[in-house]
Structure 1
């Protein structure tokens, strides 16, 4: 069985309280209530002040592989925000941001759209050139 991580966060700030991590093998999925009983840091909190995000198994694997970790939850989108080490200065703290994998997906979509728009503009320019050439042929006859 494969179980994705649960991210518990403060509803007021988006700060992470517990990241249960993903599990696989001979494991049993717990309920949110069981987690509040099992994790001391959750047990001392009022459940109504804590939010939870259930991730799929393997979700954000590419981000974790890049050294990223979930630093906070965006309270507008309820998406996890990642912090990645700076390749030049790994000790310098970075601002949490959207997962790089999501940013890459958005850039791929933008790139596909821009290619389609460029192709359409090129076809239109070719058409206009053909029309002008045809008109010039008619005028100079």
Structure 2
């Protein structure tokens, strides 16, 4: 069963979404951009040079789309940006950010790196403690052997 991800058409000047074709599966075929300009009235009324598009994989950002209250495309990077409502301040104007799923993945990678670094530092500290303890033992042994045992 073929699965086709969404194609998002946007205004190249401001990144506002003109058309989202949605995801499709089943008895479907992928269309060319030129076909879409003929098929969809939102596109046929536009000058093609003022319209950009991005193709997403089937299911890509599905969680972000389900949770957001709006989305647009950054015209420079062609990255999709989502606006997520703040339950404490629902009347606030939208703030567009990269997909939360990508931010969570990046944060998890940073946490893993910090945990690895922390574990490596702990090992180095334990090794240094062992070296210091060994040196103290050697000093005590030398003091005892030389008769300078202290009191």
TM-score normalised according to structure 2 size: 0.85
Q: Which moved more, 1:96-105 or 1:83-92?
A: 83-92
Larger Rg: 2
- Aligned runs of 1:39-50 on 2, under 5 Å? 39-50=40-51
- How many residues are treated as equivalent by the alignment? 140
Residues of 2 paired with 1:13 and 1:94: CA distance? 15
Greater Cα offset, 98-107 or 13-22: 13-22
Task: Give deviations 1:46-93, integer Å, cap 9, x for gaps.
Answer: 212211100001011111232x15521123432100011222233433
Look up the SS of the partner of 1:137 in the other structure. helix
Alignment partners' CA distance in 2, 1:82 and 1:126: 46
Matched, 1:85 2:88: no
Q: Which runs of 5+ in 1 are unaligned?
A: none
Structure 2 gap segments, 5+ residues each: 142-151
Q: Which residue of 1 aligns with 2:63?
A: 62
* Secondary structure, aligned partner of 1:140: helix
Q: 1:126, 1:10 → 2: CA distance?
A: 58
2:46 and 2:5 map into 1 onto residues whose CA distance is 23
- Aligned residue runs from structure 1 range 70-81, under 5 A: 71-81=71-81
CA contact (8 A) 1:86 1:94 kept: no
